[in-house]
Amino acid sequence: MIVRDRLVQSFLELVAIDSPSGDEDVIAAELEHRLQALGLDCAQDAHGNVLASRPGSGEPILLSAHMDTAEPGRGIKPIWDGDDIIRTDGTTILGADNKAGCAVILEVIQSAIEDGARTRPIEVAISRGEEIGLVGAQNMDYSRITAKVAVVIDSGGPPASVQGQAPYHYTYTVEVNGRAAHAGVEPEKGIPAITIAAEAVLGLPQGRMDFETTGNVGTIHGGLVRNAVPEACVIEGEMRSMEFEKVESLVARAKDHLTEVQQRHPEAKVNSRFHLGYPGYKLEPGDPAADLLFGVLRDLGMEPDPHPVGGGTDGNVFRGHGIASVVIGRGGYNQHTKDEYLVIPEMLDCARVVEAIVRTQG
Ligand SMILES: [Zn+2]
């Protein structure tokens, strides 16, 4: 049985361990220790993701969360009066995104052990670096994962709040190389990389293209000193769309534009790299993960509420690796802000849903 106090206690213990992205060693060791104490075969992969498994019967199921948190996420002091809400003291995020997901996974396994319940084989993947671009999931050791269906516990709101659609995501880098020269003595010998990069930026997709397609130039770095014609400039950007064709056509447009810029400045070098960071998806009937989750939600009297989201999660990356994934709510709100809070009954409902899923006969 899912035990409310134990679930809350383990959540509070996990948020007391600082784990901003890039600084996950301590929380990884703690999670590994806890999963081993629950009898799971558990180890970190080469990237430091915590992977674990527990035997069972039927088709295996992957339970996933991420261990890193956003900033400001050091010295978190959760405020809990014993009622239904856990808040921050206003100086940091709370870290329900995604310590609530980690706590739910631990509670579901603990509960299965205590009940002597028959479960599917359970695989656990707790990633690093989710908040900085799904880095852990992209570098995960998939040879250790056999499940073809995953529940990613990493959405806001109640468990019935399901990410129904997530975008395809392209990242890109443009490098402009010109030629340096003294800006006062012989500027005519220079090829100003920043100016050429500016032309590039102006034609790259930015803002909202339509209701499901966006583009952004996020960073620009160029030049070394005030008095030299800048030799190099680097632009980083991204594009997203729910529809693969739309993001592909944005990429094609951006490449055409960069080719034009190159042609206008044959003396410079304009190089670009485009990378499909993760695939998008849309939950449809017949999708094994959606069917499983929606069935369990309805059995528990919760009506599934799938909605599109503009961001990717580890679920996108898993789908790229052939693992049908659903991303469910675990009771958090105002994620990535100092106003983040956790609704305990919703985290509890999330644990009940995940528990029911691992106990289905697959
Ligand atoms: Zn998250």
Q: Pick the catalytic residue from 68, 154, 231, 349.
A: 68
- Token representation of residue 15: 């948020």
Q: What is the DSSP letter of 145?
A: -
Rounded Cα gap, residues 178 and 176, in angstroms: 7
DSSP tally for the chain: helices H, then strands E: 9, 19
| Alpha carbon of 262 to ligand 1 centroid (Å) | 39
The number of angstroms, rounded, from the C-alpha of 298 to the middle of its chain's C-alpha atoms is 27
| Alpha carbon of 261 to ligand 1 centroid (Å) | 38
| Alpha carbon of 66 to ligand 1 centroid (Å) | 7
CATH 3.30.70.360 given to domain 168-278: yes
Region of 90 please: left (phi>0), alpha (psi -120 to 50) or beta: left
Name residue, tokens 């010109």. 178
- Token representation of residue 2: 């899912």
Burial of 53 (0-12, 13-18, 19+ CB in 10 A): buried
Q: Is 30 a catalytic residue?
A: no
Question: Which uninterrupted H or E stretch holds 352?
Answer: helix 344-359
Q: Whole-angstrom distance between the N-terminal and C-terminal Cα of the chain?
A: 21
CB-CB contact of 278 with 320 (8 Å): yes
| Alpha carbon of 136 to ligand 1 centroid (Å) | 12
Cis peptide before 72 (omega within 30 of 0): yes
Name residue, tokens 């509070």. 12
Rounded Cα gap, residues 63 and 77, in angstroms: 27
Beta bridge partners of 275: 171
- List phi, psi (to 5°) of 113: -65, -50
| Alpha carbon of 335 to ligand 1 centroid (Å) | 8
| Alpha carbon of 155 to ligand 1 centroid (Å) | 7
| Alpha carbon of 162 to ligand 1 centroid (Å) | 13
Same CATH topology for 4-166+280-359 and 168-278?
Answer: no
CB-CB contact of 143 with 323 (8 Å): no
| Alpha carbon of 97 to ligand 1 centroid (Å) | 5
Residue stretches of the chain with pLDDT short of 50:
none
CB-CB contact of 307 with 138 (8 Å): no
- List phi, psi (to 5°) of 126: -115, 115
Considering the entire predicted model, what is its pTM? 0.86
- The CATH number for 4-166+280-359, chosen from 3.40.50.620, 3.40.980.10, 3.30.70.20, 3.40.630.10, is 3.40.630.10
Given this model, what pLDDT does residue 266 score? 98
Entry field: residues in the chain: 362
Name residue, tokens 């209701």. 211
Given this model, what pLDDT does residue 310 score? 79
Q: Pick the catalytic residue from 123, 130, 131, 355.
A: 130
- Token representation of residue 35: 């999963």
Question: Which uninterrupted H or E stretch holds 252?
Answer: helix 244-264
Interacting residues of 260 by C-beta distance below 8 A, sequence separation 6+: 203
All structural domains of the chain with their residue ranges: 4-166+280-359, 168-278
CB-CB contact of 63 with 123 (8 Å): yes
Q: Is 130 a catalytic residue?
A: yes
Burial of 234 (0-12, 13-18, 19+ CB in 10 A): middle
Rounded Cα gap, residues 28 and 38, in angstroms: 15
Name residue, tokens 């992957």. 62
Interacting residues of 103 by C-beta distance below 8 A, sequence separation 6+: 7, 10, 11, 14, 347
| Alpha carbon of 230 to ligand 1 centroid (Å) | 39
- Token representation of residue 241: 């769309």
